[in-house]
Amino acid sequence: MAVTEILYEQFKAIHKVLWIILLPVILDIGELSLFEKIFKSEYVPVAKLFNLKLGFISAPPSIRYFLEDFPSLIFQYNYSSAFRGVINQINLTNLLLLLAVLLVTSFLDSGYLAVISQAGHKKVTFKDFLRDGNKLWFKFFILSLLGVIPILLILIKRELSYGYFGLVFLPLLYVKYSIVVDDVSLIDNFKLGIRFFFENLRLTIKMAFSFGISFSLVGIGIYPLASMGFKGIVLGAIITAYFGAVINKAVLEIYREVSEKRRTKLKEISAEVINL
């Protein structure tokens, strides 16, 4: 099945768990509100008409995918304002704060992807979010720890983060999908996710291009909304959360389908070898 066809199929699945899009909206708007109150500044997005995005949006999705200058309460770096956010240097207090934030976000990330994964396959309720979020949070916590290493590297030397992202973090792209799909140990989740990445590079590029183009078109409406102020940003966050959930689901289902085909093929080969 074509990548775009799988994408369109996921709208029905997401409509069955539409409540899950509230999570990324609350995270985005909550972070924006806290940032403005703590730093006593009002966020005014940089005006853009169109920004071509090639790649996968985060899971849970964030309006930051479009508004690249969207403030981050914990940490943010850009060329114009350097370090912004609570964490702007490495010390014990900041490291403990970062660990505390990761513990909470790991639970939310695991619950979100677990719900997305089951949508369309079974009836999913908020109870499933809590149960599976608790069940998988430690795996997501370990994965999140690897994800914040670039932040620490930027605080030490910015150039180091580029090498880490390309050589280490990028191959981990599918590990989070393996965690919610494959009922195996964390080590095996890493093995399966990394192997999927390298065995399906062409598919990954195809998805990044197809989903990126599709989502970039959505972004055309996000920038005018964001320029309208807080209410516009809220609406933009809702739109991003909705379409982002559809893309998250599409990537996950493609991972599931390709992985199942690979396992079936391996079983057939093993059966033929045994028969010989």
pLDDT at 239: 95
What pTM does this model have?
0.87
pLDDT at 141: 94
Question: Which residues form the domain of 79?
Answer: 3-275
211, 7 Cβ separation under 8 angstroms:
yes
* 3-state secondary structure at position 89: coil
C-alpha of 219 from chain center: 17
φ, ψ of residue 227 to 5 degrees: the values are -70, -10
85, 64 Cβ separation under 8 angstroms:
no
For residues 42-73, b (16+ Cβ closer than 10 Å) or e, as one string? ebebeebeeeebeebbebbbbbbbbbebbbbb
Task: Work out how many domains the chain is built from and give that number.
Answer: 1
φ, ψ of residue 106 to 5 degrees: the values are -65, -40
Q: What is the pLDDT along the chain (276 residues), one digit of tens a residue?
A: 678 888 889 999 999 999 999 999 999 999 899 888 887 888 888 766 567 777 888 999 999 888 878 887 665 544 444 445 556 566 777 778 788 888 999 999 999 999 999 999 999 999 999 999 999 999 999 998 887 776 666 655 554 444 445 556 788 899 999 999 999 999 999 999 999 999 999 999 999 998 888 888 888 888 888 888 899 999 999 999 999 999 999 999 999 999 998 888 877 777 766 766
d(CA 221, CA 217): 8
Ramachandran category for residue 236: left, alpha or beta (phi over 0 → left; psi -120 to 50 → alpha): alpha
d(CA 208, CA 251): 10
The single residue listed with the structure tokens 């909206």 is 25
pLDDT at 50: 62
* 3-state secondary structure at position 106: helix
pLDDT at 24: 96
Nearest to 249 by CA among 194, 177, 200: 177
